[in-house]
Amino acid sequence: MIKIKKVLVSTDFSESAAKALPYAASLAKGYGAELHLVHVVEDSLYYAQFVYDGAPFDPSVLIEGLVEDRKKKLDAVVKEVPSGVSVSTHLRRGVVASEIIAAAAELDVDVVVIATHGRTGLSHLIFGSVAERVVRECPCPVLTVREKAHGMIAENGGGKRSR
């Protein structure tokens, strides 16, 4: 028998990530598991040298504002989790895939739920795939939810396949 005590779901606040949340919440509710909602701020993207009006600009000010904004967004996502599910939020900073994998190991989760954006071609080559790396390197099973999921989760959260 499968025992699931902790479920991790990552979010980047995209429509794709919003589709992964019901799967994670349904697993957590069905197994009486804890739900861990993780967002990663990839702050290295903001540490390039900025110059504003001839003077260097410290990007840490921008990043701190971004972190505060993301905390508020995480709190908003928590409100979408059905009642009866124990949920905690984790805001991490670093490389997205690495931080999701590290969080899964540190929190000792039983399954990770992650959305795929479905990038192909040049955009996949340039941006890579966070989900692909998580699947390859994560210490636990990973459920990937495609952007165009086929509706395995019923609108009422009952977990019945819609036809």
Which CATH number covers residue 88? 3.40.50.620
Tally of CB atoms within 10 A around 47: 12
Residue-wise pLDDT for 43-96, tens only, equals: 765 555 555 566 666 667 777 888 899 999 999 999 999 999 999 999 999 999
The answer to whether residue 54 sits within a structural domain is yes
The answer to whether residue 75 sits within a structural domain is yes
If one counts the domains in the chain, the total is 1
Tally of CB atoms within 10 A around 133: 16
Q: Average pLDDT for residues 16-44, to the nearest whole number?
A: 93
The answer to whether residue 160 sits within a structural domain is no
The answer to whether residue 29 sits within a structural domain is no
Q: Are 20 and 11 in contact (CB under 8 A)?
A: yes
Residue 159 has what pLDDT? 42
Q: Are 30 and 23 in contact (CB under 8 A)?
A: no
Domain that holds residue 144: 1-6+35-122+131-150
The answer to whether residue 26 sits within a structural domain is no
The answer to whether residue 74 sits within a structural domain is yes
Say yes or no to pLDDT of 23 above 50.
Answer: yes
The model's pTM? 0.80
Q: Are 7 and 111 in contact (CB under 8 A)?
A: yes
The answer to whether residue 146 sits within a structural domain is yes
The answer to whether residue 97 sits within a structural domain is yes
Binning pLDDT at 50, 70 and 90, where does residue 158 land?
A: very low
